[in-house]
Amino acid sequence: MAAVKLENWVERIRDPKIECMSSDEMAALQSRRLVDVVNRVYNNVDFYHKKMKDLGVEPGDIKGIEDIGKLPFTTKEDLRDNYPFGLLAIPKKDVVRVQGTSGTTGKLTLASYSQKDVDVWGECVARCLTMAGLTDEDIIHVCYGYGLFTGGMGLDYGAKALGATAIPMSAGNTKRQMMCMEDFGSTAFACTPSYALHLAESLEEAGVVDRLKLKAGIHGAEPWTVEMRKKIESILNINCFDIYGLCEISGPGVAQDCIHHAGLHINVDYFYPEVLNPSTYEACADGETGELVFTTLAKEAMPLLRYRTKDLTSIDHSTCACGRTTPRISKFTGRTDDMKVIRGVNVFPTQVETALLGMGGAVAPHYLMIVDREDNLDVLTVMVEVDESMFSDEIRKLDALKNKIGAVLKQALGVSARVKLVEPKTIQRSEGKAVRVIDNRNLQ
């Protein structure tokens, strides 16, 4: 089945009353919800009661969304300090589910949900699936992990709310994924973009792409580039969408891009976004990059005020070509803690991805960055997979390719990198979030 490209796209909006609401009406809704959530956390969560007292803020000081800047921030460390149930705003018996993330840094972060929280989560994901053109007739192959990680359950709840069929594959066993995808006639699949690429290449290698009914891919949980999206789309002849979320705030479905791919629409009736300058905490203007901060407006079990995500993005409040008025955040370049400072230059793995994919097929978009310190100097090595045919080439040609990649990376990153060419499939494929950087400097 051919992908439905922009020119014959039928726009479906699950909840136009909300997703196309005027900014005044939305601000009024957010204000009502903010006043309510502030009262609930002040009265039920010792941590917030104390934080607000310390700042000299009373619930009565918060009259609407314009007062959000008076509220305290919440950090991942605060969640760890109150692990596992210290931030509950409801009796523990009313918690119906917990989800968590181990993340790349430190201990597990746990989030609790009431039944209403689970329903809202499913609704938000259903809005995203609708944004991707899916309906109750679709068969959604979920190869995100089921378990504490929110990917599997989140997509499952979304498919359920939409009335679509969910296939709970969970992660791993690529051969079985391929068989079920073909046999069950899956029309969409959901997994991390790195695994999507691996699965797409495996399907292509097996020569089964033409027998599939796939039309959409729902990918997120890690940063990925436009070039990577186009690569997966072209192998499978589908449309792919970028879904964002984090377990502290709900899970996948906090935001997603529409067919115009002009930023990710945030479900702002439930999650109030601020993009702040990470050093001054001043609000960034539209288009300016800063740290994304969320306040949950309707969560019952574990509401969070001004949660610092450490994710870097910019915001756009203009109405999108799709008709939605919900503000859009730009595709993520990474987290503040993904960024590596190499010889004083800020480097994100997504820059390497863009550079490699821009080389027109000479190299595969599978890469690993290794940062070492030699003689007090940072050294960046980028391992890059080359095509099988290239590998059998003469050394002279390989050297030329290596030099070319080196030059492209230097241009893209602003810092030189050693390039190590490796054979196809040498770099470990991930079934979940890909590990793109190994920083050995922290061990020395």
Rounded to a whole number of angstroms, the minimum distance from the CB of residue 340 to ligand DLL is 15
31 vs 267, which CB is nearer to ligand DLL?
A: 267
19 vs 242, which CB is nearer to ligand DLL?
A: 242
274 vs 311, which CB is nearer to ligand DLL?
A: 311
Rounded to a whole number of angstroms, the minimum distance from the CB of residue 193 to ligand DLL is 8
Residue in the block written with tokens 């609930």: 40
101 vs 114, which CB is nearer to ligand DLL?
A: 101
34 vs 221, which CB is nearer to ligand DLL?
A: 221
CB-CB contact of 237 with 91 (8 Å): no
Residues that bind ligand DLL (CB under 6 A): 101, 144, 149-151, 154, 220-223, 242-247, 251-252, 309, 311, 332, 335
Residue in the block written with tokens 């691996």: 198
Give the integer Cα–Cα distance in Å for 293 and 282.
Answer: 12
Rounded to a whole number of angstroms, the minimum distance from the CB of residue 375 to ligand DLL is 33
Rounded to a whole number of angstroms, the minimum distance from the CB of residue 188 to ligand DLL is 14
Task: Identify which of 378, 372, 388 has the alpha carbon closest to the alpha carbon of residue 425.
Answer: 388
HSE value, Cβ hemisphere, 13 Å, CA-based, for 68 = 28
Tokens at residue 110, please? 């746990």
HSE value, Cβ hemisphere, 13 Å, CA-based, for 332 = 27
Give the integer Cα–Cα distance in Å for 169 and 70.
Answer: 45
Rounded to a whole number of angstroms, the minimum distance from the CB of residue 253 to ligand DLL is 8
CB-CB contact of 301 with 90 (8 Å): yes
Could you check whether the bond before residue 273 is cis, i.e. omega within 30 degrees of 0? no
CA 148 from centre of chain: 17
Q: Could you tell me what percentage of the chain is helix, strand and coil, using 3-state DSSP and rounding each to the nearest 5? A: 35, 25, 40
CA 370 from centre of chain: 23
User: E-assigned strands of 248-354?
Assistant: 251-257, 264-266, 271-276, 290-296, 307-313, 315-316, 328-329, 334-335, 340-342, 345-347
Rounded to a whole number of angstroms, the minimum distance from the CB of residue 35 to ligand DLL is 27
Q: Which residues pair with 315 in a beta bridge?
A: 329
242 vs 300, which CB is nearer to ligand DLL?
A: 242
4 vs 339, which CB is nearer to ligand DLL?
A: 339
CB-CB contact of 260 with 328 (8 Å): no
221 vs 384, which CB is nearer to ligand DLL?
A: 221
21 vs 191, which CB is nearer to ligand DLL?
A: 191
The 8-class DSSP code of residue 283 comes to B
Residue in the block written with tokens 């499952």: 156
Rounded to a whole number of angstroms, the minimum distance from the CB of residue 418 to ligand DLL is 27
Give the integer Cα–Cα distance in Å for 45 and 51.
Answer: 10
Q: Which residues pair with 109 in a beta bridge?
A: 101
Q: Containing H/E element for 88?
A: none
Instruction: Quickly count helices (H) and strands (E) in the chain.
Output: 12, 21
Rounded to a whole number of angstroms, the minimum distance from the CB of residue 117 to ligand DLL is 15
Give the torsion through C-alpha atoms of 237, 127, 196, 176, to 10 deg: -100
Rounded to a whole number of angstroms, the minimum distance from the CB of residue 151 to ligand DLL is 4
Give the integer Cα–Cα distance in Å for 65 and 365.
Answer: 43
144 vs 272, which CB is nearer to ligand DLL?
A: 144
Rounded to a whole number of angstroms, the minimum distance from the CB of residue 311 to ligand DLL is 5
Determine the residue with CB nearest ligand DLL.
220
310 vs 366, which CB is nearer to ligand DLL?
A: 310
Rounded to a whole number of angstroms, the minimum distance from the CB of residue 208 to ligand DLL is 25
